Structure formats: structure tokens, C-alpha cells
Structure 1
Amino acid sequence: MDLLHYVRLARRNWLLILLSLILAVGAAIAVTSSTPPKYVATITMMVSGHDREGSLSTAIQAGALSQQRVQSYANLLPSHRVVSQIAKDDDIQRVQENITAQVVPGTVILRATVTDTDPVRAARLANDLGTAFTRLIDEIERPALTHKKKRPGDKDDRSGHKNDQPNVKVTMVDRADVPKEPVSPRPLVNLAIAVLVALLAAMAIIVLRDRLDTTIKTSETLQLASGSSTLGIIGYERDARRHPLVLRDRGRSSRAEAFRSLRTNLQFIGVDRQPKSLVITSCLPGEGKSSTSANLAITLAQAGWRVILVDADLRRPRIPSYLGIEGAVGLTDVLIDKAYLHNAVQTWGEPSMSVLPSGQIPPNPSELLGSEGMRRVLAQLTETYDMVIIDAPPLLPVTDAATLAATCDGVLLVARHGKTRREHVIRAAELLASINARVVGSVLNFAPARSSHHYGYDYGAEVKTPVSV
């Protein structure tokens, strides 16, 4: 998949993306408004070793001792012994959970933070924490006091003990100020994260659905699945269900132009073997093969072809309702010798086009379509007309279309955009190949049209479209 494919996916599913963004923004606002603000107060302390003799070697030793102690002090800072001096018994655990301590890398600086919903309380707890911690370290690091005999020149401290200073001490460098701005929630950050997550989730759903969706959406996919050229792409129009024929708007709609392109492409499919009988079918019902048959026959007739449209769908005939003709007498009556062929054929439209309706629905459609009488009818029609268009039932549910395809010159396979599946087209192509039927091409029906407006040409000349065989 290239970038253009993802852009098309996003455009096609813009409503899902918009809905995801709306939900994400709503969730971000709800979370932000329901989250109580939190304030952080920070203190800075420095760990230093005591240099007893004032020499260089002892100073180095004191510095090394400070480096060794500082990480242990960071772990000791939120301990129960320290926190119990600044918080009540029932509040110790909460305060512990909101204390963090870290060592500034490469230094003996210890930085502690206290998080609280009250800024004043956060600053007070942080300062009390620093005071309590320095007092604790002073107690821990002070050497055991021993009484010794006083020597001449020894200096006594106030308690009468010699050199009772702690080995390492902690000094609070910066006290905590009352924070003015909360650190959470952060509305803009929450909104940005929500939008980003929504976009990623929406695109993941769209791409996953596209990967799992095996319906035909491009002419290239249809061509690969059917193993034949895509001769036409018929655009979707809202009024196509109510007005299935291309005669409205004086034949200047986009669908009319698409069928003219299909007609042009049909002229190039067999230079040495031009088909005279063409079966038009689909994989499953509802893919538009009957409307394609009728419109292609009309377009051929408009170009001066002697064409006849045969309604060979003896199970669910649609041609009479599309053309507005009587279909009580037709193909089935000819096949069972209840009517002559020339009496069953009707003339329709201007320029005139011949139509052979299906007639009465028989109980054995497959047997009638595969009979010797059907072959004689087809032979007679191909001698009389330039093109015989046969509207056949779908391929996969019944065998009627396959039976006709085996005796006709070619098959045109119709697939519906976004409905026909690749595996269905592959099965249909394999079925036609197994009976040595000639698939002259395929048609992608109901494709999303960029514009449903007709071409605004006022003169009667036909617009030629490029051949895409």
C-alpha cells in the first residue's frame, strides 16, 4: 500500500475519523475536568562528608563517602521513619506515595519533590521533610561517643566530647516555595494525546477493515480476480434505481458516457474474432447485470448496430420492467414451440432495438437454456443481428449462465463496487474456464462517481472516451 491509498482510505472514511475525534475531545474534557489539580513543591539538599584533618587525602575520602551515601539517601528519604515525623499516622502512606527523590547525576545534590492537591500543604510538607531528613542523617552518621582521657592540647566541645561531628551531613540548600501553577491536569497535553490516540485508533480500524475487506473496489483488483480486462467502469447515480436506463437527460449523463466507453472497448476485444453473442452475467444477484445488459443494448442500437436483447433470466426476469414492455410471451414459449421466434420478438425505442422477453417462468430453466432448441434460437439470432446481448442469471447460485456461456461467443462479467468479493469473482472465472467459455472482459458497476452531472455539450456529436482494454 502506498501513501495515496491511505489518503483515499481516510477520505472515504472521514465520518469515522470525525466521530473518533469528537469522542476523543469529549473524553479529554471529561477527564481533565474530573481530575483534581496537583501541585509539586521541590527542595534541594547537598550531601557532604566531614573532613576531620583538613588534608587533601581526607578531603578526597570525604567526597568519595558523599558519593557513596547520596543514592542510599535518595531511597531513605520517603521511608516511614522520616515521613512519620511530618505526617499523621493515618496520612503517612498517602504522603509516602507522593514523595519522589532523585540524585542529580554526577553530583552529591539530592532533589526531593512532594505532590499534593493543596499548594500550601505541598510546600509545608516538603520543607518539613527536608528538616526531618537532615536531622535523621545527623543522628545516623554521628559516630559513637566514647569518653577518653583528656590530653594536653585537646579541645573539648560543649558536651565534653572530642570530635563528635557526623561523618556525612545533609544540608538543605533550597527550601520549597508555594507552587502557583498545578502540574496536572494539563488540558492542552490531554487534548493533544486524545486527538493523537483517536487518529491512530481510527486509522488502525480503517486499515484493518480494508485488509479484511475482500470486496472489489478498483478496476485493477477486478482485472486480477477475473483474469480479463476491465472494459468499463459504470459510476453510481442516486436516480439509477428509479431510472435504470441511460436515456434520461437525452443520454448525456455520466452513466451514458460510461456505457459508450464500454461499447467502444467491446469493438477492440476481438479483431480477428468479434463476438456476436454476448452473455452478460454476475457472480451473485443484485450486482446490476440486467441494467448493464439493457443499457449496453441501447447504446449499441444508438450507434447503428442491429442488436437484440434476450432476457434469458428465466428465474427473475427484469428486462420487461426496465423497458416497460409486456413479457408474457417470449423465450420460453419459443423453446417449447408455443410461439414463433419472429412473433415473440418486440421492437423498442428509437432508434429501434429488438427485445426477446423471457416469457413465462418455467420449472426447469437450466434444461431449457441447455437444450438444442436454445442453440437453434441463438444461431438464428446471430445470423439476423450484429450483436445478441443475453441477460443471464448469476453464475454462482445456478448453472443457467454457465450453460449459456458454453454456447455463446463471449461472456461479460459484471461486479458491483463494494459488494462483489474477490473470491466470488475468482470462483466465477474458474467456473467459466472449466467449460472453456471465453471471458471477453469485466465491468465494475456502481463505482463511486466523482460527479453525477452530465457533460454540457449542446451539439449532437458523441463524446469519445479513451479505450481502456
Structure 2
Amino acid sequence: MDLLYFLRLARKNWLLLVLSLILSVGVALVVTANTPPKYAATITMLFSSHDKKGAFSPAYQVSSLAQGAQSYANLLTSRRTLSQVTKPEDVERLRDSITAEIVPGTVILRAMVTDSDPARAAALANALGTRFARMIEQIERPTPTSRPTVKVTIVDAAEVPKAPVSPVPLLNVLVGMLIGLVVAVSSLILRDRLDTTVKTSAALQEASGSSTLGIIGYERDARRHPLIVRRKGHSSRAEAFRSLRTNLQFIGVDRKPRSLVVTSCLPNEGKSSTSSNLAIALAQAGWRVLLVDGDLRRPRLPDYLGIEGGVGLTDVLIGRVRLESVVQSWGDPSLFVLPSGQIPPNPSELLGSDGMRQLLADLVADYDIVIIDAPPLLPVTDAATLSALCDGTILVARYGRTRHEHVVRGIELLASVSARVVGTVLNFVPAKASRYDGYGYGYGYGPAAQAEVKTPVGV
């Protein structure tokens, strides 16, 4: 993790960070308002010793007394001292409210007593100083009739404090903001580290070991209008599929795929809409395209394209109908569709049969490219079976839903049948993610953006 990582994380989640700061300030103000004020009264005492002439001299002249001054400070909070100031049951509470310290390099003792009542704090501090001075005189007498060797003098008596020492609103707010910011940033980092969903083309490329051919942006009305033919193809998704079409032309100069399987790791990741729109984009460029609905479990192409799907691939494979009678022309004259037909009880066996292999060979001979919409990889083996028969496979991943481990497992399944993964597509990428991660799927609409020269796939 570097500074750039934190900056990107903060930029993506700036609203959450602002809300966390506002919440932490609010909590700090509530806590401050409900915290009883505390007042501190301070008393200052000086230790002095007996000189050779019998008079008291300043204690700082006596080095041995200075070295033992801390022991006297400890005696200030002893039970013997405190029991002379308060009731026995309140000794512990009073001890917790007393802070005693020796001024460094001197024998001056400062004692601070905090209490919710300013007058009581001052009274307790003065009473403590008086009782402590008397106790030291008693302890430091060699004999009951001799003079004390150490004397405690009250230098500054405690006064009634005018302002509380706690709570401090500004300090509480600053501490609250710091805690809120630390908690928010830590949560974001933890969530980001635990989140294994694919959110960048680099992450998808790392998981799949293959190049990312296309970044398909999210559009709000894509669910109701999944095809790119709306608005005459002037949309970000249409431009993204044209970019995907262009990238396909650079795949395998010596071995261009004539048959492509489009699949995903799990359902609802956009593989059917991707295969449909890719076929439309290729047909718009002059390719003779056949779109095959190879999902014999949950066919979606009839709903997307608005065609009849009751008779199709399964009927051709079992010899019930001829291929020419079920292939439908759609939209552009060069786009043809082969529906799935009736849902069979044995889709995997049917798709892996010799009949399917021969059918693919015939289709590749008649069309520039055959695109097969296959079921998801992980739930069933249909897509892997089809991938083993075709020239290449495109794996579709959904932004923020497809996990890294799902992609790895899907690639392993394809590798187990010696399938060729020509690339991946990252689908449903939100606009803000494209800004932050530099996807930039392009917005060059118009005739110039659509003017591409067809490159025959057989070349």
C-alpha cells in the first residue's frame, strides 16, 4: 500500500469519510454535553530540613532530602493521610481524584484534587495539605520531644477554581474526529482487502491470465433496453462494444477465431447481453454473423432479440428439422440467429456430441464468425464442453460481483479441456469507477466512430 492507494481509496469513498467525520463530531458534542464538569484545585508545598544550628534551611540545599522527595509524594496519597481528610469508605474515590508530583530538580510538591464541586475541590486540597504537613512532622521526629528533621510548608494554598478542567469541547471534538477518521479509513482498507470482487481490468487480467478485450459501462436503462441499437447506437455501451469488436480483429493474426463461446463464471453477469451486442456490432461492420443460443438450460436470447425460440439448436441436433428452417435473420441483413429450441433433459451430452461438432464445422464454413451464448462455467459443464469445440472463448466478468477466485476457477475449467481463452470482458462498470481507474471507454459518437472497414476473419 502506497500513498496513491490511500488517495484513490479516499477519493472513491469521500462521502463516507465526510459522514464519518460529521458523526464523530456529533458524538463528541453529545458526550461533552452529558459529561459532568470537573474542577481542579492545586496546592503547592515545600520540604525543608533541619540545619546544624537548629534552624530550618531551604530543602533544596539538602541533596539527600531532594532524592527522597518522591517518597513523600507517595505518602500524600497513602491511606493514613487520606483517612484524616475523608471517611474510610471514600478513601479510594479520593485517591483516584488526587495527582501529586514533585517539580523536577526541586523539593516542591504540587498536589491537585479534582471534584465536581469547585469549592469542595479547594477545601479537600487545603485539608490534605494541612494534614499531610502534620503527619510529616510526626513521622520525622527522632524522639517524641525532639524537633522534626523535615518540615512541610504550604507555599500556595488551593483556591476555588473558576473554570472546569474537563470536559474540553474543542479537544473532545478533535479527538472524536481523529477516532472517526481512523475507524473509517481502517474499515475502508479492511473492506477493500477482504473484497475479492473484480473491479479493475488489471485485476481481471491478473486473475484470468488473459487480456481484457472490453470494458462495458453500466447504463441505468440497460436492463429494460439491453441492446445497443437504441438511439441509433449513440451510447457509451454501443461505443464499448465497437471497441470490443475492434480488439477482436487483433486476436491471433495467424489463427483468427471463427467460432467464439461467450460465457461467464456465474449467472447474471451479462454474458447473454454481451454475446448479443457483440454479434450486432460485428454485423454492423459488415461481418456475416451467426448468433447461437447455446444455453440449453435458461435461454435468454429470444427475450433480448424478440424472436421465437421454440424451435432451434436442439431440434437440429436430434434431426427433427433442417438448419436452414430454424436460422432467423435479425435486424441487419448480415446477422442471423439460431435459437436454442426446446430445453432437453441432457444439455451437456447434446452439446458435446459428434452432431454438435459437425454442425459447428458447417456453420463456420457458411459464416464469417459464429458466436455462441453459453451457460455459466461454474454451475454446469456446458460452457466448457462448447469451448473445447470452438476456436476461442470470451469470459465475461461483472464489476463488483464476480470474485477473483471465481475467475481463477473458470480459467482452470477451460484449461482442463484445452480451451483457448481469447480474452475477457469487464461488464457493468459504473461511470465513477471509469473516472477513478482510467477506463475511459470512449464517447466518440457519430459516423466517424462507426466507420470501420471489415477485416475478413479468415485472413
For normalisation by structure 1, the TM-score amounts to 0.89
> How much does 1:12 deviate?
3.6
Given that residues 100 and 112 in structure 2 are in contact (C-alpha distance below 8 angstroms), is that contact kept between their aligned partners in structure 1? yes
Partner Cα distance (1:24, 1:456) in 2: 41
Partner Cα distance (1:248, 1:447) in 2: 19
Of the candidates 344, 350, 356, which is equivalent to residue 326 of structure 2?
A: 344
Shift of the 351–189 alpha-carbon distance from structure 1 to 2, 3 Å rule, reads: farther
Of the candidates 207, 218, 235, which is equivalent to residue 253 of structure 1?
A: 235
Query: In the TM superposition, what are the counterparts of 1:78-89 in structure 2 within 5 Å?
Result: 78-89=77-88
Of the candidates 277, 293, 299, which is equivalent to residue 281 of structure 2?
A: 299
Query: In the TM superposition, what are the counterparts of 1:168-187 in structure 2 within 5 Å?
Result: 168-187=150-169
> How much does 1:318 deviate?
0.5
- Is residue 2:447 matched to residue 1:460? yes
1:27 is aligned with what amino acid?
Answer: V
Given that residues 233 and 444 in structure 1 are in contact (C-alpha distance below 8 angstroms), is that contact kept between their aligned partners in structure 2? yes
1:461 is aligned with what amino acid?
Answer: A
Partner Cα distance (2:58, 2:444) in 1: 98
Partner Cα distance (2:188, 2:283) in 1: 44
2:457 alignment partner in structure 1: none
2:211 alignment partner in structure 1: 229
Given that residues 49 and 65 in structure 1 are in contact (C-alpha distance below 8 angstroms), is that contact kept between their aligned partners in structure 2? no
Q: Which runs of 5+ in 1 are unaligned?
A: 147-163
Partner Cα distance (2:195, 2:445) in 1: 43
Query: In the TM superposition, what are the counterparts of 1:51-450 in structure 2 within 5 Å?
Result: 51-53=51-53, 63-144=62-143, 164-350=146-332, 352-450=334-432
Given that residues 260 and 390 in structure 2 are in contact (C-alpha distance below 8 angstroms), is that contact kept between their aligned partners in structure 1? yes
1:200 is aligned with what amino acid?
Answer: V
Given that residues 39 and 118 in structure 2 are in contact (C-alpha distance below 8 angstroms), is that contact kept between their aligned partners in structure 1? yes
Given that residues 252 and 454 in structure 1 are in contact (C-alpha distance below 8 angstroms), is that contact kept between their aligned partners in structure 2? no
Given that residues 39 and 183 in structure 1 are in contact (C-alpha distance below 8 angstroms), is that contact kept between their aligned partners in structure 2? yes
Given that residues 60 and 66 in structure 2 are in contact (C-alpha distance below 8 angstroms), is that contact kept between their aligned partners in structure 1? no
> How much does 1:358 deviate?
0.8
2:30 alignment partner in structure 1: 30
1:414 is aligned with what amino acid?
Answer: V
Given that residues 253 and 455 in structure 1 are in contact (C-alpha distance below 8 angstroms), is that contact kept between their aligned partners in structure 2? no
Match of 2:240, SS? helix
1:271 is aligned with what amino acid?
Answer: V
2:41 alignment partner in structure 1: 41
Deviates more, 1:88-97 or 1:295-304: 88-97
Shift of the 168–456 alpha-carbon distance from structure 1 to 2, 3 Å rule, reads: closer
Superposed CA deviations along residues 421-461 of structure 1, whole A, max 9, x for unmatched, are: 11111111111112111110011111122489997767422
Partner Cα distance (1:378, 1:179) in 2: 94
2:85 is aligned with what amino acid?
Answer: I
Given that residues 59 and 66 in structure 2 are in contact (C-alpha distance below 8 angstroms), is that contact kept between their aligned partners in structure 1? no
> How much does 1:66 deviate?
1.9
> How much does 1:72 deviate?
1.4
Given that residues 291 and 372 in structure 2 are in contact (C-alpha distance below 8 angstroms), is that contact kept between their aligned partners in structure 1? yes
Superposed CA deviations along residues 103-123 of structure 1, whole A, max 9, x for unmatched, are: 112211111111111112211
Given that residues 48 and 60 in structure 2 are in contact (C-alpha distance below 8 angstroms), is that contact kept between their aligned partners in structure 1? no
Match of 2:426, SS? strand
> How much does 1:15 deviate?
5.2
Shift of the 456–441 alpha-carbon distance from structure 1 to 2, 3 Å rule, reads: closer
2:101 is aligned with what amino acid?
Answer: Q
Shift of the 418–393 alpha-carbon distance from structure 1 to 2, 3 Å rule, reads: same
> How much does 1:95 deviate?
2.3
Partner Cα distance (2:376, 2:444) in 1: 37
Shift of the 2–235 alpha-carbon distance from structure 1 to 2, 3 Å rule, reads: farther
Given that residues 253 and 454 in structure 1 are in contact (C-alpha distance below 8 angstroms), is that contact kept between their aligned partners in structure 2? no
1:41 is aligned with what amino acid?
Answer: A
> How much does 1:16 deviate?
4.4
Partner Cα distance (2:413, 2:94) in 1: 76
1:130 is aligned with what amino acid?
Answer: G
Shift of the 265–89 alpha-carbon distance from structure 1 to 2, 3 Å rule, reads: same
Shift of the 196–226 alpha-carbon distance from structure 1 to 2, 3 Å rule, reads: same
> How much does 1:136 deviate?
2.0
Given that residues 239 and 444 in structure 2 are in contact (C-alpha distance below 8 angstroms), is that contact kept between their aligned partners in structure 1? no
Partner Cα distance (2:143, 2:60) in 1: 20
1:157 alignment partner in structure 2: none
Superposed CA deviations along residues 331-379 of structure 1, whole A, max 9, x for unmatched, are: 1111112221111111111354111111111111112211222122211
2:128 is aligned with what amino acid?
Answer: L
> How much does 1:59 deviate?
8.9
> How much does 1:464 deviate?
8.6
> How much does 1:306 deviate?
0.9
Partner Cα distance (1:456, 1:92) in 2: 77
Match of 1:191, SS? helix
Partner Cα distance (1:144, 1:62) in 2: 24
1:460 is aligned with what amino acid?
Answer: P
Partner Cα distance (1:38, 1:266) in 2: 74
Given that residues 252 and 455 in structure 1 are in contact (C-alpha distance below 8 angstroms), is that contact kept between their aligned partners in structure 2? no
> How much does 1:463 deviate?
5.9
Deviates more, 1:245-254 or 1:3-12: 3-12
Deviates more, 1:328-337 or 1:19-28: 19-28
Deviates more, 1:417-426 or 1:17-26: 17-26
1:7 alignment partner in structure 2: 7
Given that residues 40 and 113 in structure 2 are in contact (C-alpha distance below 8 angstroms), is that contact kept between their aligned partners in structure 1? yes
Partner Cα distance (2:94, 2:379) in 1: 73
> How much does 1:53 deviate?
3.0
Q: How many residues align?
A: 446
1:151 alignment partner in structure 2: none
1:106 is aligned with what amino acid?
Answer: G
Shift of the 104–279 alpha-carbon distance from structure 1 to 2, 3 Å rule, reads: same
Q: Which runs of 5+ in 2 are unaligned?
A: 453-459
Given that residues 309 and 389 in structure 1 are in contact (C-alpha distance below 8 angstroms), is that contact kept between their aligned partners in structure 2? yes
Match of 1:461, SS? helix
Partner Cα distance (2:58, 2:202) in 1: 80
Work out the percentage of aligned pairs sharing the same amino acid: 67
Partner Cα distance (2:250, 2:267) in 1: 29
Q: Which has the larger radius of gyration?
A: 1
Partner Cα distance (1:366, 1:79) in 2: 86
> How much does 1:19 deviate?
4.7
Partner Cα distance (2:271, 2:371) in 1: 11
2:21 alignment partner in structure 1: 21
Match of 1:309, SS? strand
Partner Cα distance (1:89, 1:431) in 2: 78
